[in-house]
Amino acid sequence: MTFTIIGTGNIAWFFSSRIVAAGHKCKGVFGRNADAVKKLAEGLLVEKYGSIGDANNVKADVCFLAVSDAAIADVAAQLSFEKTVLVHTAGAMSIDSIAAAAQDRAVLWPVYSILRHNAPNHRNIPTAWEASSPIAKRYVLEMAHAITDVLFEAQYEQRKWLHLSAVIGNNFINHLMAICEKICAENNLPFSTIMPIITQTFDRIKTASPQTTQTGPAIRHDENTIQQQVNLLSNHVEWRHIYEAITASIERR
């Protein structure tokens, strides 16, 4: 099958590289940043590249719209496809957000944190799909099988909740780890000393519900320790607010 791709970020690099490696042909790379577009095109050995509107002039089975959520509507407004299946890659955006650009459209969203320079080398990436028509379903699944072995259908109403869960479970947790790292650095402590308990946390939830493995002062309603730790965060107001909100949530569970 043939495809084009609009976008030059982490998902664009990951998707296009895997799809090309599976034997599909990329017929063009398009986007707003000319240098980034050229770099991705060269990486895929594609001769055709250019601005977003140029994608309309290339015949392909699928066009991937791999841009930020905020840019999807604006980019889609510049597109018009009659036979190409248009696929966006955003978990929190409706399939109808690209309805004006193509009759046959789909969504392909990996429930995974993708970084171009640290991309996963395995195929166990849970990936949600949605399609507006039988042909869109056939084409998006054909492309999806080049990326992962773990596929499941999820409509927008499901997908937006899954996206919220992913934000909390990945982005928020990573931010909490960054706070831990800064606390250790400010107090001349090696961050490595808490790595075992972090690892233990994630090992436990592989076999048991997080509801049953909660420990710490909040679950014990240890108000003396909680207040002491709130006081320690007096110079970091945002961190204190995070601590107090999560503590209150644990206490109310």
0.85 cut: is pTM over it? yes
Of the candidates 135, 98, 13, 4, the residue with the CA atom closest to the CA atom of residue 58: 4
What is the average pLDDT across 149-162?
97
Which tokens is 167 given? 């934000």
What per-residue confidence (pLDDT) applies to 171? 96
Query: CA-CA-CA-CA torsion for 87, 122, 174, 67, nearest 10 degrees?
Result: -20
Higher-pLDDT residue of 218 and 253 is 218
Evaluated on CA atoms 39, 42, 44, 50, the torsion sign reads: positive
Superfamily (CATH) of domain 2-154: NAD(P)-binding Rossmann-like Domain (3.40.50.720)
Question: CATH 1.10.1040.20 in the chain, residues?
Answer: 159-252
CATH for the stretch 159-252: 1.10.1040.20
pLDDT tens figures, 90-130 = 999 999 999 999 999 999 999 999 998 888 999 999 999 99
206 burial type by CB count under 10 A (0-12 exposed, 13-18 middle, 19+ buried): exposed
CA–CA–CA angle 88, 137, 60 (5° rounding): 65
d(CA 163, CA 228): 35
In this predicted model, what pLDDT tens digit does every residue of 212-237 receive, in sequence order? Answer: 999 999 999 999 999 999 999 999 99
What is the structure's pLDDT at 119? 87
Tell me whether strands 85-88 and 105-110 are parallel, antiparallel or unpaired: parallel
Query: Going edge to edge, which strands form the sheet with 2-6?
Result: 49-50, 25-30, 2-6, 62-65, 85-88, 105-110, 127-131, 151-153
Residues of the chain with CATH 3.40.50.720: 2-154
Q: Is the dihedral of CA 115, 121, 122, 128 positive or negative?
A: positive
Predicted pLDDT of residue 152: 98
The answer to whether 43 touches 103, Cβ cutoff 8 Å, is: no
The CA radius of gyration of the chain, in Å to the nearest whole number, is 22
pLDDT above 70 covers a percentage of the chain that reads 100
**What pLDDT digit, counting tens, does each position of 33-68 carry?**
999 999 999 999 999 999 999 999 999 999 999 999
